Structure 1
Amino acid sequence: MTSSAEHALPGAASSPLVDDFLAWTLAGTRPAEHETSEAQRVCANGVRWTWLDDGVLMMEPAEASAPIRSVLVSAGVHGDETAPIELLSRIVADIAQGRAALACRLLVILGNIDAMRDGCRYLDDDLNRLFSGRYLQLPGSHEAPRAAALEQAALRFFAAASDAPGARWHIDMHTAIRASVFERFALLPHTGKPLSRAMFEWLGDARISAVLLHTTKGNTYSHFTAQACGTEGCTLELGKVRPFGQNDLTRFTGADLAVRALLAGTRVNVDRDVQADADPAAAMPRVFTVIDQLTKQSDAFELLLAADVPNFTPFAKGTLLARDGDYRYTVRHDEERIVFPNATVKPGLRAGLLVIDTTAETLPTLV
């Protein structure tokens, strides 16, 4: 594979750290003192970069309008979800070499690095269930210190961010374990605030087909930043889990272009904007709202579904979906869809979400 440095624009400074941030991070390399000097931390177009920690990199444009947007883009919170990790590393390289524009403060985070190295989802505990301080309940977990470190990285970054509406964003990119009726979908954290039209339009630009609205606070990274940092946040599910080097990144073009546009302060294309002006709903994803969840109470828990049932599979009223001792879950609405069914989670954790279509009620309320 040809390195980014071989295609550097004239005048662009080169550093292995930003030319291949993924390889640098997986190798466990730390920059030498001379590599973090002011001179070495300036790349193409005057963009300044600062290595903050393993898998944590800040990039800032040479000139900033006021108020400047601050964007956190994370990937690899689950170590085996490799395509978004590769996409994010490529975006860093393209910014560093001047092939992609940066008009905002950017914090890049590669999440569970040890799990990335081992090619697994996590070592002890699901990192994306340990935020908002839940890691304090599992002090012996391998993932607990990483959850604490990523919380602090976000808090420090957004402490210097503008408080203007729409100035704080967090895009947390994932891929799903199983297939989905909607291959690309997003989950929005519950904040109690009105839903953002700008976020929904951005998700439409990213070719996201469906949005899942949480109705209670959670322990995911995007929940944490929304609550603690005031971000417009989302978790993106962009396809299937595959090992490093086995991803067809063309399948992720929508999200790739949308993230690049967000960082550049632009939109993906004019045609989609024209379509949205003519019919705002045409460019918007479908909306589903969580109405219940399946919780694994014991090792007797059973999901009465095929092991490979896709996310967003619909079930009719009266269908028995799960049981655990005396507990039963039966579909109550005319149609409910299941998302993230997983009978193998530890007792006490979520084994599935139940959602209903609320598109017609939700889109008119966006602000």
Structure 2
Amino acid sequence: MSLIPAEQAFSQLQSTADFLALTLEQPDQLPAFEFHLANGTRIAVWHTGVLLAEPAVPGQQDIVLSSGIHGNETAPIEICNGILSDVLAQKLQLTERVLFLFGNPWAINAGVREIEDNLNRLFSGHHSKDDGLTSEGGLSKERARAKLLEESVLKFYQQAPAGERVRKLYDLHTAIRGSRFEKFAVYPFLHGKDWSQTELQFLKACDIDTFLLMQSPASTFSYFAAQSCQAHGFTLELGKVRPFGQNDLSRFSATDKALRALVSGQPLSLSAFVEAEFNFYEVRRAINKQTDAFRLCFEDAIENFTTFPVGTVLAQDEGVQYKVEVEGEAVIFPNPKVAIGQRAMLLVKPVSVAGKVS
């Protein structure tokens, strides 16, 4: 697909206020261009699926809203595109700098999770490991995209005004299967730092009160933000994967409202932090797929956070069985279709955060 002229892209974006449509029409590359809205907001298109929106007088927060890292997770794409479209149409006035990202335009167009690689396993430099080279010696689509997204986020934070800043990245997803808790957040490993009380309160306003607290480094986008960018980074799981047009967006109204309030400086009604009103889990074990013989030993309909009796066989691989070891151990993100060597399931357990939140 040939690169459209910047003037044509600019004209289309101005007339439609639909950056997602422009991105999906030009999945390989958009020309860089920028302009100002009548309300003073600066709009800068850096690449296909990468757009900076910056008010004339930015507040102290630099916020990344990411969706479509997996192409078939459509509800987050619709939420973020709705917010951005209202910014472009001047129905929503920003007070904070926001970088909007539509992560995997090829997979979104195809209606699939990924084209070649799981994009959310390629950050923090994993995109450029030797096993990611194609037969031509270059990077796969997702690996090249991960590198571009990293560079874009770093550029966004580095170009912020001087002074004390608050960096945030919310990477919005939906899960392959249902969950005992419809919405939950993955809080990346913080290397001994306390969990943020303010962020927990904000995400509760987004209708998210269940958190998976990671205990080790990862190759996810949210971990990259937290570790490499010193941002408040989160993976937000907002429900179950559904095709475009089949999402009940009313189920995400609290999330949409809170995100809009955050970027536009509107009052946020945050309740006091009370641990008993949350569900906190930590990872006890990660089960990786070692061979093609790997299989799950429970029905596909089993939801995230489901528990089983101690001793239950959860999965089998060549020469090994994985059983429930302790009471309360729950299954999350089971997926036997991952590539060999990748995580096929997490086993988690409830945990208290007393003394670890500030």
Q: Which residue of 1 aligns with 2:22?
A: 24
**Pairing 1:103–2:95 present:** yes
Further displaced range: 288-297 or 98-107: 98-107
State the match for 2:145 in structure 1. 146
TM-score of the pair, normalised by structure 1: 0.86
- Are residues 354 and 18 of structure 1, via their aligned partners in 2, closer, same or farther at CA, if it must alter by over 3 Å? farther
User: CA 1:225–1:349 in 2, change beyond 3 Å: closer, same or farther?
Assistant: same
- In the alignment, which residue of structure 1 is the partner of 2:53? 59
Q: Which residue of 2 aligns with 1:155?
A: 154
Mapping of 1:244-283 within 5 angstroms? 244-269=244-269, 273=270, 276-277=271-272, 280-281=274-275
Superposition pairs for residues 130-209 of structure 1, below 5 Å?
130-137=122-129, 138-140=132-134, 141-161=140-160, 167-192=166-191, 193-209=193-209
Partner of 1:365: helix, strand, or coil? coil
The alpha-carbon deviation at position 328 of structure 1 amounts to 2.3
Task: Give the Cα–Cα distance (whole angstroms) in 2 for the partners of residues 184 and 42 of structure 1.
Answer: 36
Query: Structure 2 residue aligned with 1:326, among 306, 316, 319?
Result: 319
**Residue 362 of structure 1 pairs with residue 353 of structure 2:** yes
Whole-Å Cα distance in 2 between the matches of residues 165 and 287 of structure 1? 30
Q: RMSD of the TM alignment (CA)?
A: 2.2
Q: Find the residue that maps to 2:329 and give its secondary structure.
A: strand
How big is the shift at 1:318? 2.0
Q: How many residues align?
A: 339
Question: Residues 78 and 51 from structure 1, CA distance in 2 versus in 1: closer, same or farther, beyond 3 angstroms?
Answer: same
SS at match of 2:259: helix
Distance 1:198 1:342, change over 3 A: same
Deviation at 1:162, TM superposition (A): 6.5
The 10-residue stretch of structure 1 (324-333 or 205-214) with the greater mean CA deviation from structure 2: 324-333
Deviations 1:302-342 (A, max 9, x none): 21111221011012222221221232222222111100011
In 2 relative to 1, CA 21–56 (structure 1 residues): closer, same or farther, beyond 3 Å?
A: same
Q: Mean alpha-carbon deviation: is it higher for 125-134 or for 93-102?
A: 93-102
Is 1:335 the counterpart of 2:328? The answer is yes
Which of 18, 34, 40 is the aligned partner of 1:46?
40
Deviations 1:61-103 (A, max 9, x none): 11134xx210011000001111111111110111223322311
Report the Cα distance in structure 2 between the residues aligned to 1:17 and 1:302, rounded to whole angstroms: 50
State the shift of 1:156 in Å: 0.8
- SS of 1:46's partner is coil
Question: Residues 258 and 267 of structure 1 are in contact (CA less than 8 Å); yes or no, is this contact kept in structure 2?
Answer: no
Corresponding residue of 1:74:
66
After superposition, give the CA deviation of every residue in 1:218-256 in whole Å (9 maximum; x if it has no partner).
011111111111110100111121222222211111211
Correspondence for 1:122: 114
- State, as a whole percentage, how many aligned pairs show the same letter: 39
> Displacement of 1:125 after TM fit?
0.8
SS of residue in 2 equivalent to 1:294: strand
Q: Is the 8 A contact 1:83 1:244 kept in 2?
A: yes
Q: 1:309 is matched by which residue type in structure 2?
A: I
Give how far 1:194 is off. Answer: 1.1
CA contact (8 A) 1:175 1:238 kept: yes
